[in-house]
Amino acid sequence: MSCPHGNPEEACDECAALEAKWDAGFAAGRKQAEADFAARQPVGEVVAWGVRIGDSDTWGYVEVESDADFIGKQSGLPYEKKPLYAAPPRQTSQAHLEGLDRLLGETIDQRDRYHEAADELAESIERITGVEIGEHSSANFPWQNAIEAAEEYQPAQVEWQPIETAPKAKHPMIVVIAVWDSYVSDVYGVFWDGKQWARWPHKAQPTHWMPLPAAPAIDSQGNGNG
């Protein structure tokens, strides 16, 4: 390297100091570049060697393998050397990603099925109790509302109702009809044919009605429980 001060034969102290800084900077840059390169490798690269002498629990580290052998042989004791690798970048396999996607999809499907079943249950309880349950949202939980409504529900007692309130649907049905007056006091099962009460044996008009009792349970042999 020639001297910038006009002395090509021998560099001055200032030039020598500048050259030393150049060499140090080059060495540091090369070391960093090697470390960066090793970190980018799909498989870790050897960046140092560890040496352990005899039964010691302490490892020493050198940059090249030959130095590790030299130190070990100089000790006169058995020694062990191991390469030190730069940590490779963590890579997520495609199969692993696909497995996560599949698991996420199954979880979402299960959640949707749960919500659908819960909403159906809530609708059924709503029809029975008459309590409006509502649809699922972030602020409304229909299955919880349904549970609370079911716990608080008390079935209405079947009582005689005025005949004016009797159902008179267009389709046929059977209800219990009663008449109480000074001439007749009796109870009958009467058929509504869609237009009028059929098979009513009395001229007197019915005065009250109530739904038929529930049918008896049937066991596996087809017999009633009574």
HEC profile for 70-129? HHHHHHCCCEEEEEEECCCCCCCCHHHHHHHHHHHHHHHHHHHHHHHHHHHHHHHHHHHH
Task: Name the one residue in this structure whose structure tokens are 């299960």.
Answer: 110
Q: Comparing 4 with 28, which gets the higher pLDDT?
A: 28
CB atoms within 10 A of CB 133: 24
Average pLDDT of the residues in 21-36: 64
Beta-carbon-side half-sphere exposure of residue 124 (alpha carbons within 13 Å): 8
- The residue length of the chain stands at 226
User: What pTM, to 2 d.p., does this model score?
Assistant: 0.28
Phi, psi of 173 (to 5 degrees): -155, 165
- Mean pLDDT across the stretch 25-51? 64
| pLDDT of 154 | 65
pLDDT-derived band at 226, boundaries 50, 70, 90: very low
Task: Give the per-residue pLDDT at 175.
Answer: 59
Token code pair at residue 204:
């007197």
- Choose among 140, 139, 138: nearest CA to 126: 140
Among 180, 190, 181, CA closest to 210: 190
C-alpha span between 138 and 6 (Å, rounded): 83
**Residue 95: pLDDT above 60?**
yes
Assess contact for 190 and 200: CB atoms under 8 A: yes
Share of the chain above pLDDT 90, in %: 0
Side chain identity, residue 226 = G
**Structural domain boundaries of the chain?**
13-85, 94-152, 161-210
Query: From CA 144, how far away is CA 213, in angstroms rounded?
Result: 31
Do 192 and 168 contact (CB within 8 A), yes or no? yes
| Residue 11 predicted with pLDDT over 50 | yes
Model pLDDT for residues 170-200, shown as the tens digit of each residue: 555 555 656 555 555 566 566 666 666 666 6
